Structure 1
Amino acid sequence: MSLSPRYPDTVHYRGLNRPTHIEATAHDLYVEGTIPPEIAGTFYRAVHDPAYVPRFADDNILSRDGMISMIAFRDGRVDTGIRYVRTERFKAERAAGKALFGSYRNPFTDDPSVAGIDRTVANTTPYFHAGRLFMAKEDGLPYQIDPDTLETIGRWDAAGQIRAEALTAHPKFDPETGELFLFGYEADGLASRKVAYYVFAPDGTITHEVWFDAPYAALQHDFAITATHVLFLIYPTIADLEGMKAGGPHWIHHQDEPSWIGVMPRHGTADELVWIEGPRGVHSFHVMNAFNEGTRIHLDQCLFNTNFFPFVMEPSGIDLPVEGALTRWTIDLSQPGAGISSRTIGPFCEMPVIAAADVGRPYARGWYLTVDPTKLTMLANGPGEVVFNCLQRVSFAAGEPDGRIDTLSEGPGLGFNEPVHVPSADPAHGGWLLMMVDRVIAAGHIAQELWILEADAIASGAVARVFMPFTTCEQVHGHWVPHARHAPAAPR
């Protein structure tokens, strides 16, 4: 492993992954079409953009510094802004004028001067609860952000009440109770099996905390809630402590190991946690939804036959064609020994989205990104060379998939980012989707537009497009905050 003198010429630093170092604001953006009046609030986006050349040339995209972006809608006008999250890591490197932290989630590769400094880059998900905006990544605690100015307030541990060393970047919000559900894996240290689970009241106070051991120290990127239970999802991408000490990767995927679902009442105890064994070698990064049907629980997720990240597959010795689909797993709590039944709902799936009001309940629709191979755009975006260019809408009748899938497919030259859903005041209307679109305008040059889509008529295309005044690196996840919850001042 050699030190890197410049940004590496790899997929992690080309195309949309090319560093920009932009911190900026802009107001009254150009809009084509008419913005629906119901779109009144702020779309917060997590963006990754490395502030300094990485220490090692084989660094990957997950190590890049986090940026918080906002796109604010008020009275048909649109303003935007973006800033780096001032993590402890960012501040240490800014003071030194160079990268000090080493390989992805491997503190044994850091410069000795930063020993003990919080390593997280807070680059994955923005979320809002109890009047606070956070930026999160699952390898540390979240950072609180000023929702108006995007200035970093600081690392958030709920005034010392959070004992876990890390919390998920995929929080769950109950649409009826207003509770926030979080968990952290490797909760008491590197490669630990410990998981910490927290429930927060609408006012931000902790009302429930449970610690337990997972079957192994797995990469637990997402989880799920139903109206009555919480589901912890274990797939065999396992922390390799001895490998890390030798300078190797944090994760090795074990194709021969089983997956597991841990099921517990939402306010239950570790003694009530039931582990149900699943298929071997599979992996999922993102959940669409989960819900109860009597004693049965349905879990809809973007499931793959392996961990498809190339920087996980290669050191794991995996050479498989990657296959994936929107998949429903069903378990019966009255017969946990019966295991998991599985069926396919829709084709290749990533970045699933549902309406916030549907979380944990039977639902009528969901959306996700996929790839239309007839319109491929080869552009570094995320950990691969192929961008998502297709948005799918799947529909359900009484919670069951009815086989109807609507499609918006564009390209070549266009790439889609994960959308957010904006509800409508009309219960008969399915609401709106806001989706950032990357457009290749010349070799090596990309422009960005925010598309506003009618959520139940995506094939009709955008009802309005907002032209962005500057291009950012790739978006990871986003979060919609209506003015009813927070009315931020427009950035100037």
Structure 2
Amino acid sequence: MGAFPQTIHFIGTNTPRRVEMAVRNLEVEGEIPAEVDGAFFRAVPDNAHAPMFEDDIALNADGMISCFRFTGGAVDFEIKYVETERYKAEKEARRALFGRYRNPFTDDPSVEGVDRTVANTTPVWHAGRLFMTKEDGRGYEINPHTLETIGKWDYYGALKSETFTAHPRIDASTGEMFFFGYEAGGLCSLDVAYGIADKDGNLKSEVWFDQPYCSSIHDFVITEKYAIFPIFPTLADLDRLKDGGAHWAHDQDKPSYVGIMPRYGDASQIRWIEGPKGVSCFHEVNAYDDGDFVHLDLCLTDTNAFSFMREAGGIHRDQQDIKGALTRWTIDMSKDDPQIESRELGPPGDLPRLADADQGRNYNRAWYLSMNPQPKGPPMLGGPVGINFNALLRIEPGNGRITMMEPTPGSALSEPVHVVANDPDHGGWLLLVVDTPNGPPGQGNPSDYSSELWILEADFIEKGPIAKVKTGLALRSQVHGTWVSRAKLDASKVK
């Protein structure tokens, strides 16, 4: 194609920006807390070239690593492309060479065998290193000070899996990182590789097992005892790919499963518990042990939230008709035949955030994005599903208390990050990007908006921002982000 399609994947906050830049001393309204000193890294998919196919999707865009740097109350902004093998091949050719989302059979023959990952989903910080990840390949290491791409990361040749999740879990107490790769042995394989890296970044173990069917395992969770793999019936099929079709197609009639194994265990110890049919989840909030019980909190919907995955499976439902809730699944591991007990915790939503110290442990609050049930204007177009979230929720799962922060009507919210406060009695801070239309909500050009970084008190989000960082730009939608403190940046392995 010579131009970008005018579909939902290329307008609104999905409008291609295609600009690498650095801007110093952004305008700040309000006062930035002293603890907000470090870097907020963001994964931003943004096409370097017009796609090969009209029906291309936002998740297929090249990865960009974006950063807000905080230094003594001043804020700088940077963004660069992740120079993957795929990006470099297309840069040289000056056109798209890779075809449909995660389908190598639709690529230009000149790039056969070239790594297809776009590394566009999650920035991950562990053991003094920064990685950009997408679950269809290995991560790419990034220089955290310059945003230059260093190269693919495979633990000095020790990692055997061909893939690395976009959602590793880091135990703040031990410093270990727990991760996995699915389709670890190749396209459409049942292989899952579960890995553990120690606090110094060394690969300590890699355990392989088969999942019940080849599904999209986007996220997983840990507890102090277990590694937990929830899987849902969004399925890959090799013959469909060879015919030029979609990698993923949701099956409404197949059951979900939860695979549970000791977190330092082996494949022989995994137990598969069958769950409800047709449901879907991309992100889990957390999990924790309570004696023999395992509690798993997840952003659950009654079908797949992505229209292109639903429609490939023959499911045609409007986005607003999808039902869901923040849901707790409880499993009694003392039973010979464990069952899932389910109860709703809060409204539907996604992109949850947890304080790092609560990972894998009982927790008293979390944050996630949702849609205001009584909006004061239409939602902003963009994001992976075509409509952005317009409300931030704080939930206390123990008592069900929920508070909400709603921005200016018609605005869009990106996933927040949590920053710890120095005062142990203070709940810390949340940072998130807010996109606000430059005209009346729902009117005019949907790609005309301004992006700001808001800072909130994490336990009092309903009060709104205590500070705003004004970029003067329209930033493309991020997927996930991570906060890295000044102390961690100063101790980075790459200088």
Interval containing the TM-score (normalised by the shorter chain): over 0.9
Amino acid at match of 1:307: N
Is the aligned partner of 1:329 residue 2:329?
A: yes
Residues 379, 390 of structure 2: 8 Å contact kept: no
- The separation in 2 between residues aligned to 1:272 and 1:138, in whole angstroms, is 25
Partner of 1:114: 111
Is the aligned partner of 1:41 residue 2:38?
A: yes
Partner of 2:251: 254
The structure-2 alpha-carbon separation of the partners of 1:71 and 1:336, relative to structure 1 and needing over 3 Å to count, comes to farther
Partner of 1:380: 381
Deviation, 1:69, is 0.5
Residues 69, 83 of structure 1: 8 Å contact kept: yes
- The separation in 1 between residues aligned to 2:254 and 2:178, in whole angstroms, is 28
Alignment of 1:232-247 (within 5 A): 232-247=229-244
Is the aligned partner of 1:19 residue 2:16?
A: yes
Is the aligned partner of 1:123 residue 2:124?
A: no
Residues 66, 85 of structure 1: 8 Å contact kept: yes
Residues 252, 279 of structure 2: 8 Å contact kept: yes
Amino acid at match of 2:260: V
| Equivalent in 462, 474, 487 of residue 471 of structure 1 | 474
- The separation in 1 between residues aligned to 2:338 and 2:224, in whole angstroms, is 23
Sequence identity, in percent?
A: 51
Amino acid at match of 2:258: I
Is the aligned partner of 1:8 residue 2:5?
A: yes
CA displacement, residues 31-90 of structure 1 (integer Å, 9 cap, x when unaligned):
000101111111000001000010011111110000000111111111110000000000
Residues 379, 389 of structure 2: 8 Å contact kept: no
Partner of 1:133: 130
Q: What's the RMSD between the two structures over aligned residues?
A: 1.2
Deviation, 1:315, is 1.7
Unaligned runs of 5+ in 2: none
Residues 276, 336 of structure 1: 8 Å contact kept: no
Is the aligned partner of 1:188 residue 2:185?
A: yes
Residues 223, 289 of structure 2: 8 Å contact kept: yes
- The separation in 2 between residues aligned to 1:21 and 1:252, in whole angstroms, is 30
Is the aligned partner of 1:58 residue 2:51?
A: no
Is the aligned partner of 1:480 residue 2:483?
A: yes
- The separation in 1 between residues aligned to 2:346 and 2:240, in whole angstroms, is 37
Amino acid at match of 1:296: F
The structure-2 alpha-carbon separation of the partners of 1:488 and 1:61, relative to structure 1 and needing over 3 Å to count, comes to farther
Deviation, 1:482, is 0.5
- The separation in 2 between residues aligned to 1:150 and 1:384, in whole angstroms, is 28
Is the aligned partner of 1:455 residue 2:452?
A: no
Alignment of 1:133-172 (within 5 A): 133-172=130-169
Residues 128, 491 of structure 2: 8 Å contact kept: no
Residues 229, 264 of structure 1: 8 Å contact kept: yes
CA displacement, residues 350-378 of structure 1 (integer Å, 9 cap, x when unaligned):
10001000000000100000011432434
Q: Secondary structure at the match of 2:196?
A: strand
CA displacement, residues 266-321 of structure 1 (integer Å, 9 cap, x when unaligned):
11000111111111100100010000000110000100001120101112111343
| Equivalent in 300, 304, 315 of residue 303 of structure 1 | 300
Q: Which moved more, 1:373-382 or 1:410-419?
A: 373-382
Partner of 2:87: 90
The structure-2 alpha-carbon separation of the partners of 1:39 and 1:264, relative to structure 1 and needing over 3 Å to count, comes to same
Deviation, 1:488, is 9.0
Amino acid at match of 1:364: N
- The separation in 2 between residues aligned to 1:383 and 1:219, in whole angstroms, is 16
Q: Secondary structure at the match of 2:193?
A: strand
The structure-2 alpha-carbon separation of the partners of 1:336 and 1:484, relative to structure 1 and needing over 3 Å to count, comes to farther
TM-score of the superposed pair, with normalisation by structure 2: 0.96
Q: Secondary structure at the match of 1:163?
A: coil
Deviation, 1:15, is 1.0
Alignment of 1:173-184 (within 5 A): 173-184=170-181
Partner of 1:350: 350
Partner of 1:361: 361
Residues 349, 368 of structure 2: 8 Å contact kept: yes
Q: How many pairs does the alignment contain?
A: 482
The structure-2 alpha-carbon separation of the partners of 1:293 and 1:168, relative to structure 1 and needing over 3 Å to count, comes to same
Deviation, 1:349, is 1.5
Q: Which moved more, 1:335-344 or 1:122-131?
A: 335-344
Partner of 1:318: 315
- The separation in 2 between residues aligned to 1:447 and 1:336, in whole angstroms, is 56
- The separation in 2 between residues aligned to 1:488 and 1:49, in whole angstroms, is 30
Amino acid at match of 2:330: T
Residues 418, 431 of structure 2: 8 Å contact kept: yes
Deviation, 1:484, is 1.7
Partner of 2:284: 287
- The separation in 2 between residues aligned to 1:296 and 1:192, in whole angstroms, is 32
CA displacement, residues 227-284 of structure 1 (integer Å, 9 cap, x when unaligned):
1110011100010111111010001111111111110111100011111111110010
Amino acid at match of 2:171: D
TM-score of the superposed pair, with normalisation by structure 1: 0.96
Deviation, 1:155, is 1.0
Amino acid at match of 2:111: V
Partner of 1:390: 391
Residues 249, 311 of structure 2: 8 Å contact kept: no
CA displacement, residues 90-109 of structure 1 (integer Å, 9 cap, x when unaligned):
00000000000000000000
- The separation in 2 between residues aligned to 1:119 and 1:168, in whole angstroms, is 15
CA displacement, residues 95-152 of structure 1 (integer Å, 9 cap, x when unaligned):
0000000000000000000000000000000011111100000000000000000000
Q: Secondary structure at the match of 2:135?
A: coil
Compare the two structures and name the one with the higher strand fraction. Answer: 1
Q: Secondary structure at the match of 2:400?
A: strand
Is the aligned partner of 1:419 residue 2:416?
A: yes
CA displacement, residues 305-342 of structure 1 (integer Å, 9 cap, x when unaligned):
01120101112111343111100001011015131000
- The separation in 2 between residues aligned to 1:97 and 1:460, in whole angstroms, is 48
| Equivalent in 216, 223, 226 of residue 213 of structure 2 | 216
Alignment of 1:70-89 (within 5 A): 70-89=67-86
Deviation, 1:209, is 1.2
Unaligned runs of 5+ in 1: none
The structure-2 alpha-carbon separation of the partners of 1:488 and 1:416, relative to structure 1 and needing over 3 Å to count, comes to farther
